[in-house]
Amino acid sequence: MGLVVQKYGGSSVADAEGIKRVAKRIVEAKKNGHQVVVVVSAMGDTTDELIDLAEQVSPMPAGREFDMLLTAGERISMALLAMAIKNLGHEAQSFTGSQAGVITDSVHNKARIIDVTPGRIRTALDEGNIAIVAGFQGVSQDKKDITTLGRGGSDTTAVALAAALDAEVCEIYTDVDGVFTADPRVVKKAQKIDWIAFEDMLELAASGSKVLLHRCVEYARRYNIPIHVRSSFSGLQGTWVSSEPLVQKTQQQGDQKVEQAIISGVAHDTSEAKVTVVGVPDKPGEAAAIFRTISDAEINIDMIVQNVSAASTGLTDISFTLPKAEGRKAIDALEKNKAGIGFDSLRYDDQIGKISLVGAGMKTNPGVTADFFQALSDAGVNIELISTSEIRISVVTRADDVNEAVRAVHSAFGLDSDSDEAVVYGGTGR
Ligand code: ASP
Ligand code: MG
């Protein structure tokens, strides 16, 4: 029996009852003979509450203090969880990210892990303890300041520790039974996926699926750490995310490889906005000037569309999408360079949504794109932007149309389950 890393999200440890329930599950794994490392998130909506509090005392809190504040959330849950485990008669010790050896760069609020030196965790395990680690945090290599990894960063902590400790699996416990073919909060007939390849999971995460963070999946793929996403409420088998197909033992046929479906799922995202640069001269260097301005402001963009220029004016429009939170910054940066770039005006639209269809089978199955557009048209959904990768098609629509569009596409590709409705055990999806 090897070492397992288990990660519990905020909704799994939302209150004392939740913490006790999780403690029992952890002790089970230990009793089964595993060495157990647990990564825990802050209880319930603690992180959001701390952010609200910070904003009340300062509109622009300093990154260093903000991170110091937010990491307190995970310290609360790690200590309580260790106490609950000890109460069940087992040894447990809690560690902050820094104590666990999670070393990051010094970009506050979205630090990247650059090294993991889990010496103290190893020692704790060797002495027979269950090690509890605060997720979402580390310590910067140069300044030795406390950092956070960005919202939802505990998943990344878990995978990084699993890699550094050479764990056999990283189990991510959440408030749904696994990765679904669509967000079960929107599509009641969404189905749990038994196995999905890293590539498809990366596209789903990049397209707005919230169950696993992109950075966490990227990390797992780089170190080839299988992830098992499952519910801390039901104890059912969840979704395996790995490079190799899952092998299931069946009574009739023996070992069976689980095939990946042609279409893995439908993701949606309403966190983006669209900027349109109107009246751009249609000559070389214009797009470069616009996107240089955006990248100098350290803004990441998603889709880009350039319209055909009107023959009479020689002017064109360029639209792109970006996180709503970066909208103001992008508009200000473009306005400042208006003369240099040369355009007429800017339009900003934050009432958009994105729907993406993901599946490696797209590469070899013609007609997927046509069926996708047909489903949207049958649902009366108008398309504003389109972008594709080898294994994904995404469209931008009105935000109001998103839920309807997701359900329509999900049905059209035969992804609706005919049995149980998907269960959401907890959390606000916030
Ligand atoms: N507590 C942090 C958040 O809510 C980190 C996490 O949950 O993974 O974003
Ligand atoms: Mg959380």
The torsion angles phi and psi of 185, rounded to 5 degrees, stand at -75, -20
Taking the CA of 151 as reference, the closest ligand is: 1
* DSSP state, residue 413: T
Query: Whose atoms come closest to the Cα of 10: which ligand?
Result: 2
Judged by average pLDDT, the poorest of 271-280, 362-371, 373-382 is 362-371
Q: 257-295 pLDDT, tens per residue?
A: 777 778 999 999 999 999 999 999 988 999 999 999 999
pLDDT of 420 reads: 63
% of the chain beyond a pLDDT of 70: 98
Query: What distance in angstroms lies between residue 79's CA and the mean position of ligand 2's atoms?
Result: 17
Structure tokens that stand for 65 in this block: 């203090």
- Which of 154, 159, 215, 229 maximizes ligand 1 atoms within 8 Å of its Cβ, making it the mutation to test the pocket? 154
Quick check: 429 pLDDT over 90?
no
Judge whether 227 and 168 are in contact, CB under 8 Å. no
Tokens of 321: 């999408």
Residues β-bridged to residue 131: 37, 93
What are the tens digits of pLDDT across the range 8-36? Answer: 999 999 999 999 999 999 999 999 999 99
What average pLDDT does this structure show over 361-375?
A: 91
Nearest-CA neighbor of 117 among 129, 105, 99?
Answer: 99
Strands (E), 307-384: 315-323, 345-349, 352-358
Task: For residue 6, report the distance from its CA to the centre of ligand 2, in Å.
Answer: 15
* Strand locations in 282-423 (E): 304-306, 315-323, 345-349, 352-358, 385-389, 392-398
pLDDT at 43 over 60: yes
Instruction: Please compute the mean of the pLDDT values over residues 98-104 and round it to a whole number.
Output: 98
**Residue 156 pLDDT > 60, yes or no?**
yes
Region label for 314, one of left (φ > 0), alpha (ψ between -120 and 50) or beta (otherwise)? left
Amino acid at 207: S
Identify the pLDDT of residue 309.
78
Residue with CA closest to ligand 1 atom 9: 151
Q: Which residue has the tokens 């790690």?
A: 78
For residue 176, the model assigns a pLDDT of 87
Least confident interval from 95-104, 256-265, 294-303, 417-426: 417-426
Give the residue-averaged pLDDT of 125-147.
97
The CA distance from 265 to 156, in Å, is 23
Is 173 within 8 Å of 12 (Cβ atoms)? yes
Name the 3-class secondary structure at 184. Answer: coil
Q: Tell me whether residue 25 is exposed, middle or buried, using C-beta atoms within 10 angstroms of its C-beta: 0 to 12, 13 to 18, 19 or more.
A: middle
For atom 8 of ligand 1, which residue has the closest CA? 152
pLDDT of residue 423: 73
d(CA 143, CA 228) in angstroms, rounded, equals 35
State how far the Cα of 274 lies from the Cα of 302, in Å rounded to an integer: 10
What's the pLDDT band for 255 if we cut at 50, 70, 90? confident
Number of neighbouring beta carbons within 10 Å of residue 357: 29
Neighbours of 364 (CB within 10 A): 8
Answer whether 73 contacts ligand 1 (Cβ < 6 A): yes
151 lines ligand 1 (CB under 6 A): yes
Provide the pLDDT for residue 427. Answer: 56
Tell me the CA–centroid distance for residue 148 and ligand 1, in Å: 9
> Token pair for residue 81?
């969880």
- Alpha-carbon distance of 408 to 331, in angstroms, equals 34
- Residue whose CA is closest, atom 5 of ligand 1? 152
Query: Is the distance from the beta carbon of residue 172 to the nearest atom of ligand 1 less than 6 Å?
Result: no
Taking all residues of the chain, what is their mean pLDDT, rounded to a whole number?
93
pLDDT value at residue 329: 95
Residue type, 389: S
Residue ranges of domains in the chain, CATH in brackets: 3-259 (3.40.1160.10)
Q: Are 10 and 41 in contact (CB under 8 A)?
A: yes
Q: How many helices (H) and strands (E) does the chain have?
A: 12, 22
pLDDT surpasses 90 at 426: no
Model confidence at 249: pLDDT above 90: no
Structure tokens at 264: 């893995």
Residue 307's SS3 state is coil
CA atoms within 13 A on the CB side of 323: 9
Question: How confident is the model at residue 282, as a pLDDT?
Answer: 87
Confidence bin at 419 (pLDDT 50/70/90)? confident
Q: How many CA atoms lie within 13 A of 123 on its CB side?
A: 10
- Band (pLDDT 50/70/90 cuts) for residue 59 is confident
Q: State the average pLDDT over residues 56-79.
A: 95
Q: Is residue 105 pLDDT above 60, yes or no? A: yes
- Whether the CB of 240 sits within 6 Å of ligand 1: no
- Which residue has the least CA distance to atom 7 on ligand 1? 152
Q: Rounded mean pLDDT of 190-197? A: 94
Q: What is the pLDDT of residue 253?
A: 73
pLDDT category of residue 428 using cuts at 50, 70 and 90: very low
Span 162-187, pLDDT tens digits: 999 999 999 999 888 999 999 999 99
- Taking alpha carbons only, the member of 322, 330, 389, 328 closest to residue 352 is 322
Measured from the Cβ of residue 64, the count of other Cβ atoms closer than 10 Å reads 16
